Structure 1
Amino acid sequence: MATATPPTTGAGEPSRTLALLWGDPSATPRRKGPGRSVTVEQVVDAALALADEHGLAAVTMRAVAEAVGVSAMSVYTYVPGKAELLDLMVDTLYLRMPRPAWRASEWRTRLTRVAEANRELLTSHPWMTEVAALSRPPLGPGVLGKYEHELAAFDGTGLTDLDTDAALTYLLGFVQSHVRSAHDAARATTDTAMSDAQWWEANQPVLAQAFDPQTYPRSVRIGRAAGEAQGSAWNADSAWDFGLDRTLDGLAALIDRL
């Protein structure tokens, strides 16, 4: 049985998507009849609200039309389809990200701020980890403004242009992977109606029998130490701190040898 391909950015018709992203009037040609009652921005905001509250599956053209008070057919005169709408949603969120001046801070501090800003965005909009493809981003003003701002965080590192681009992708890849894991952990808590600590406590009798310290000495010793320190087998904040430091250490190994 075939499974549905998950939606990602860059799946729409490129010329129409780019026209919408950059506000080209030809992207939403006027038709005969009453004037427009809403704007493309209102359509995008309605889609964002649906995705944030109910998940990406709730974002249908019909649901968006109902949210803005237009007919299901007329919404297509604003956005030609869900693929293009998805690109607009992602680019809009990127466009709204704060872009404070970097000033004269050290590169590691700047990259930490890049990572934290992206973590906050993906945590606030969990569906973004499913659709924001690094290889085919919507090439709108949000994506380009974000890219320019984040590239500037590498100024003064001495990296080549190619290494700068690769280093930024490496950093953002860590952020996406971490936030996806955090979402999965949060979903497990919601689905089971149990915190990690409650789950481990409930399964302690079985685990005590299975985890033989003679057979699994490292697993028992290290697992117990990690669980006591973190309150669970995996803690999002601890994993973030450790992972981000190691990611930046890897970039430091490249930068420091220049």
Structure 2
Amino acid sequence: MAEITGTGDPARSLSLLWRLVEPAPRGRGAEAGLSVDRVVDAAVALADTEGLGALSMRRLATDLGVGAMTLYTYVPGKAELLDLMVDSVLGEFPSLYSPAADEWRARLEALARASWTQYERHPWLLHVAASGRPPLGPGVLTKYELGLQAVDGTGLDEVAMDAVFTLIEGFVAGTARGVVDQVAAEEATGITETEWWEATAPVLDRVYDPERFPTVTRVGPVAGEAQQAAYDPRRAFEFGLARLLDGIAVLIDDAPSTPITEVLPEKSPWP
């Protein structure tokens, strides 16, 4: 189950995100040299190495060598901590993003590749639902600013600029999740992708009917040989990103004559 940002106290989260308040170290916290930044850094390190499932205020306090009640002096609870963690790692984005300033396609490609790198560094981000109530701290807003700048001056209106950024981000998260899922499967089973397919093949050979699945019979082996797997998320990323940018190019070419609001549905398809 995904963790959700924005479930804590909004005012307290924002105050901490922008460091409008900085709890003064005292007691065990002072002895341990605690600060909000150090608590967040320790939480990110724990999530990076062991996943979000390992993160709790009690576990984090133990790692920092303080009692749980001391930790609450710096961060009100896990909900606010999650907001701080997400904003902190997104604050790394400018150091990963090296765009070509004169061409929108190169900027968007750089944006996507930097996001991919973030998910590789912090795979737990893929298990955080942050789009509905994003932590509006400096890290989140800086990445959003850079994403919008990537398509600024292309002729897209403001709604389309936001939609393109959201589209790129959603695509990268979807393909990066494939890498995380493969790693998780290997860790859970103790066998590699190749070993899994080798174990599957003898049984599949007994039940598989080429006449029932003629297109699978023709395409599957060729694609599998090329990818050396049933699914290669990195190939999917490269192929999908190129096609996505091709589609955005059409949108940009049509931008002066077709505002994005004319092609968006009047209401969400979701109930």
TM-score, normalisation: structure 2:
0.87
Q: Which residue of 2 aligns with 1:186?
A: 183
Contact residue 115 and residue 169 of structure 2 kept, 8 A? yes
| Aligned mate of 1:58, from 49, 54, 57 | 54
CA distance in 2, matches of 1:31, 1:200: 55
CA distance in 1, matches of 2:119, 2:73: 30
| Aligned mate of 2:109, from 93, 109, 112 | 112
CA distance in 1, matches of 2:111, 2:225: 31
Contact residue 211 and residue 220 of structure 1 kept, 8 A? no
Does residue 11 of the first structure (1) align with residue 7 of the second (2)? Answer: yes
CA distance in 2, matches of 1:49, 1:35: 19
Contact residue 90 and residue 132 of structure 1 kept, 8 A? no
Measure how far apart 1:32 and its partner are.
Answer: 7.9
Q: Which residue of 1 aligns with 2:71?
A: 75
CA distance in 1, matches of 2:20, 2:66: 22
CA distance in 1, matches of 2:170, 2:203: 37
Does residue 98 of the first structure (1) align with residue 133 of the second (2)? Answer: no
TM-score, normalisation: structure 1:
0.91
- Equivalent AA in structure 1 for residue 71 of structure 2: V
Superimposed CA distance per residue, residues 179-204 of structure 1 (whole angstroms, 9 cap, x where no aligned partner): 11221122112222222222222222
CA distance in 2, matches of 1:159, 1:35: 50
User: Secondary structure, in 3 states, of the residue corresponding to 1:70?
Assistant: coil
Does residue 140 of the first structure (1) align with residue 126 of the second (2)? Answer: no
When residues 33 and 183 of structure 1 are mapped into structure 2, their CA distance, relative to the original with a 3 A threshold, is closer
Does residue 240 of the first structure (1) align with residue 237 of the second (2)? Answer: yes
User: Secondary structure, in 3 states, of the residue corresponding to 1:78?
Assistant: coil
Q: Which residue of 1 aligns with 2:16?
A: 20
| Aligned mate of 1:222, from 197, 219, 222 | 219
Show structure 1 runs of 5+ residues with no match.
none
Report % sequence identity.
48
CA distance in 1, matches of 2:225, 2:179: 19
Show structure 2 runs of 5+ residues with no match.
256-271
CA distance in 1, matches of 2:14, 2:200: 53
Does residue 231 of the first structure (1) align with residue 228 of the second (2)? Answer: yes
When residues 95 and 223 of structure 1 are mapped into structure 2, their CA distance, relative to the original with a 3 A threshold, is same
Measure how far apart 1:97 and its partner are.
Answer: 2.0
Superimposed CA distance per residue, residues 81-135 of structure 1 (whole angstroms, 9 cap, x where no aligned partner): 0000000011011112235564533211110110111111011111111114222
Q: Which residue of 1 aligns with 2:260?
A: none
Contact residue 116 and residue 176 of structure 2 kept, 8 A? yes
Q: Which residue of 2 aligns with 1:251?
A: 248
Q: Which residue of 2 aligns with 1:88?
A: 84
Contact residue 42 and residue 64 of structure 2 kept, 8 A? yes
Task: Please say which of residues 65-74 and 12-21 is displaced more in the overlay.
Answer: 65-74
| Aligned mate of 2:146, from 145, 149, 154 | 149
When residues 35 and 74 of structure 1 are mapped into structure 2, their CA distance, relative to the original with a 3 A threshold, is closer
CA distance in 1, matches of 2:86, 2:186: 27
Contact residue 3 and residue 127 of structure 2 kept, 8 A? yes
CA distance in 1, matches of 2:210, 2:98: 54
Does residue 47 of the first structure (1) align with residue 38 of the second (2)? Answer: no
Q: Which residue of 1 aligns with 2:122?
A: 125
Number of aligned residues: 252
Q: Which residue of 2 aligns with 1:176?
A: 173
Superimposed CA distance per residue, residues 8-59 of structure 1 (whole angstroms, 9 cap, x where no aligned partner): 111111000000001112x64x598688331110010111111111111211
When residues 50 and 35 of structure 1 are mapped into structure 2, their CA distance, relative to the original with a 3 A threshold, is closer
